[in-house]
Structure 1
Amino acid sequence: MYGSIFTAWRILEVMREESAASDWLFSVESLLPITTVIPVHVFLLLAHLLVEDQGQNLRQILKVTTLLAQADSSQVPNLIPVLMFKLGRPLEPVLYNDILYTLPTLGVHKVCIGQILRVIQLLGTTPQLRPVTLRLLTSLWEKQDRVYPELQRFMALSDVPSLSMGKEVQWEKLIAKAASIRDICKQRPYQHGADMLAAVSQVLNECTKPDQATPAALVLQGLHALCQAEVVCIRSTWNALSPKLSCDTRPLILKTLSELFSLVPSLTVNTAEYEVRVWRPIRFLSSHWKDMGFIITSGKRYS
C-alpha cells in the first residue's frame, strides 16, 4: 500500500496544472481497453481529482470513473463515498446531474448496490426529483437486475397523483416513465417485456393529444423491441393498436409506427391469414399516410 501511495504522490507532483491532469485522464482512458487489473494508485489519483476538481475536468473524470468500474470493479466501493462527498460540495446544477447519473454506472460490485439504491431512494422522497429518480433506478437496473422489484414499485408510485406537483413535473414524470418502459423492453425483453404491456397500453390511452406524442412514441419503441424479439406477435399487437392509432396524424407517431412495420418483412409467415391480417392494414396505412405527404416503402418512412 505504501508503494501505491508513494506512486500517487509522485504523479501528483507533476499534475499540478489543469492540462496535466487532463492529459493523465486521456492516457488512462486509452489504456483501459487492454487492461484488466487497475493499479491502486490510479484509483487514489482519481479520488483526489474528484475531490479537488472545481468543474473544469469533472465530466472527463466521471467518464474515466465509469470506464474504470467496467474494467476492474474491485476498487469501486472506495469511490462511492467520494462521489457522495462531491455531491455535498457547491457545484453548478448540471454537474450535480452528471454525478447522479454516474452513480448507477458504478453498480458493478455487489457491495455498491445498497449504497447507490439508498441515495436514489432518498432523492425519490422529493416529488420534484421523482422523474430523475426513475431514470436513475432504470440505469441501475441495467447493471443489476436484482433491483427490478424496486423499479416496478417506483413506476407504480409514479402513477399516483400528487397535488404538490406542477404540470411541468407531471409531464417530466410521464416522459421518464415512458423512457423507462422503452429501456426495459429493449434491455431484457424476454425477462420483463411482458410485464410492460399494461403500462404501454396505459400510456397510449393517456397520450392522445398532439402535444403528448413523445411519451406515446417512446412506449411504441418499446413495443418495437418486443416484436423484434418475438416476445409479442406483431399481428396481434397491431390488432390491439389499430383502433387507437390507425388514423393518428401526429408525425412522431407516424414515424414510430413506420419503424414498427419495417419489421414485417423479417417476421413474415407465408400464410393467407398473415397476408390478410398484416399486409392489408399496412397498405391501408400507406395510403392514409401518403395523403399526408408520407411515402411508405417496405415499412420505412421517406419524406
Structure 2
Amino acid sequence: MSKRGVLPVLLMSLLVLSGCERVVNVSGLDYEPRLVVEARLERERGVASADQVIRLSVTQDVFSTAAATAARGATVRVLDDANRATLFAESPREPGTYRAAAMALPVGRALTLEIEWEGDRYRATEIMQPGVAMDSLFFRAEFDEVDTGRNWRATISVKDPGDQRNFYLWDQWIDGRRLVSPDSEEFSRVVQSDDRFNGSTVRQFQPYSDWLVSSGQLVRVRQLAISEQAFRFYTALSAQVGNNGSPFGVPISSVRGNVANITTPSRRAVGYFIAGEYTELERRVP
C-alpha cells in the first residue's frame, strides 16, 4: 500500500479509537419514587386461617446502592366480598412491615387490598385460589443426565385437576435459605400453567433445576396456586429480568402490576397482590 493509502487508514483508526474512549455522563434523570407492594396472602391447603404479612417500601434512584426505604405510617386493610375488613398493623420492630393474625382466607372469594399512604389511596383485587396437593418430593438428576447421585435436584410429582384451569408458583428452600429473595442469585419466579398437562399427573418436575442438592441438606418446596393474571405478570417479569439484550430477547418494557393508585392514576404502585392456597413438602436429601 502507498503512503497516500496508509494515511487515510491511520486517520480512520484514530477516529474510531477516540470514539470508543468517549465518556458519557448520565445526569439529570427525572425520578419519582413509587410505592412498592409485597402482598402475598397465603394459607396452607386445608387450614382455616393463617398469619399474614404485607411489606411496603419505596423505589430508589436507579443509581442508588442504599437499602430500600420502608414505607412507614400507611393504613393497610383487606376486605372480603362481604365488605368485612381485616386491618394490618405496622410492626414496631420492622418499619414498613404490616401484620394481621389468624386471617381467614375463604377459597373462591374476592379479596380487595386497600392502602392509604402519603395522601394517595391504592387498591387491588384478587380471587383466593384453591390449592393443589403435591404427591411427593424426591431427588433425581435431570432427564438427559446420567444419575450419579451427585447431580440431584429437588423433584416433585403432582396430579393436576382436570375440571379447572390451574396456575402455579413454586418456592424452594435449602437448609432454610429461600432461593428467591431480594439478595439471592436466583431472581426469576418459577410459574407454570396447566395448559399442556391439564388433568394429568406430572411425575418428575424440577421447579429449580439449576440448583443441585447435596446429601444431608434439608429441602422444602412450596406450591402456591395463583390466578391467571398473576401468572401473566410473573411470566412477563421473568422475561424482563432475564433479558440479556440479545437479538432474541424480548423488547424492554415496564411490567405493570395490579395495584392501582386511585388518587393519582399515573403514579401506580410497583408489585402485585396475590391470594392463594399452598401445599408444602419437606425432605432431607439421602
Higher helix proportion, which one? 1
TM-score (norm 2): 0.21
TM-score (norm 1): 0.20
Q: Greater relative contact order: 1 or 2 (C-alpha under 8 angstroms, separation 6 or more)?
A: 2
